[in-house]
Amino acid sequence: MAPVKVISVYARLYAKCLVEALAGVGRNLWTLALPMGLGIALYFVAALVSPLGRAGGILVAFAESAALSIWSYFSSEVVAHSKVGLADFPRAIRSYFWSWVSLSFVLYILTLLVSTALATNPNRDAALTALNLLTLVALNAAPEVITQKGTRTGLDTVQRSFAFLQETWIEWFIPNLLILGAGYLFLTRVVPGLSGGAVLLSILGACAVAHVVAVFRGHLFRELDGSTHRQRMYRFRTGA
């Protein structure tokens, strides 16, 4: 198939996911405040337990997993075209809490092993930075794997995320890299030139956009998972 037609197929697919994301968020406008609210809550939790040393660090890790569970739950419900409200918070905390705890534990052990193995190596910090970047890439679809594939253990999440990206890495990373690039330009070119209330408004706007992006990614994962490039081309030709 000609490159132009391939581009048209995926442009239509991405547009469909974006329209569905905007429509879903539109039915649940209050969820736009989730990233900001959860971020503020984590900040206060960290400040409260920081004097507890290592125990405080563990509590912060659990709080982060709870926050990720809440955001994952509401984002996935929006993707599923559900109407959600504040009454769903107890269920939101429980739904994916242990999935995130398990994944965080796996990543913690991996980092600890690498850090210990390179304890006397002068390039340890560079190696840990490279590991973090590799993790960011290899587990980029972990939030969607947790919510849509229902993984419960960290290892299962790692395996399924990696398997998904093996099959769809081009289709998945093209829009995600464009979004990441836009975010980087916003933070480095726009935000430094702002002052006063404009900074707060920009942060609020960025958090709202982050939520729309999370819902968009959920729709994109659903479209890509379980389908092949050839099947998507066929759907385009038949107008499905």
Percent of the chain's residues with pLDDT above 90: 75
When pLDDT is averaged across residues 43-56 and rounded to a whole number, the result is: 91
What's residue 199's pLDDT? 79
Rounded Cα distance, 158 and 145, in Å: 9
Q: What stretches of the chain show up as alpha helix (H) in DSSP? A: 3-27, 34-49, 54-79, 89-95, 97-117, 124-138, 142-144, 154-185, 197-224, 229-238
Please provide the average confidence, as pLDDT, over all residues in the chain.
92
Concatenated DSSP letters for 132-171? HHHHHHHTTTHHHIIIII---SHHHHHHHHHHHHHHHHHH
Neighbours of 58 (CB within 10 A): 12
When pLDDT is averaged across residues 65-90 and rounded to a whole number, the result is: 96
Q: Where are the domains of the chain?
A: 3-238
Q: Which residue, among 72, 75, 17, has the nearest Cα to 224 in the 3D structure? A: 17
pLDDT at 236 > cutoff 70: no
Rounded Cα distance, 24 and 81, in Å: 6
Weakest-pLDDT range from 63-72, 77-86, 132-141, 221-230: 221-230
What's residue 219's pLDDT? 97
What's residue 168's pLDDT? 94
What's residue 127's pLDDT? 92
pLDDT tens for 171-229 read 999 999 999 999 989 888 888 888 777 878 888 899 999 999 999 999 999 999 978 88
What's residue 45's pLDDT? 95
The residues near 55 (Cβ < 8 Å, ≥ 6 apart) are 49
When pLDDT is averaged across residues 41-49 and rounded to a whole number, the result is: 94
pLDDT tens for 92-144 read 999 999 999 999 999 999 999 999 999 888 999 999 999 999 999 999 999 99
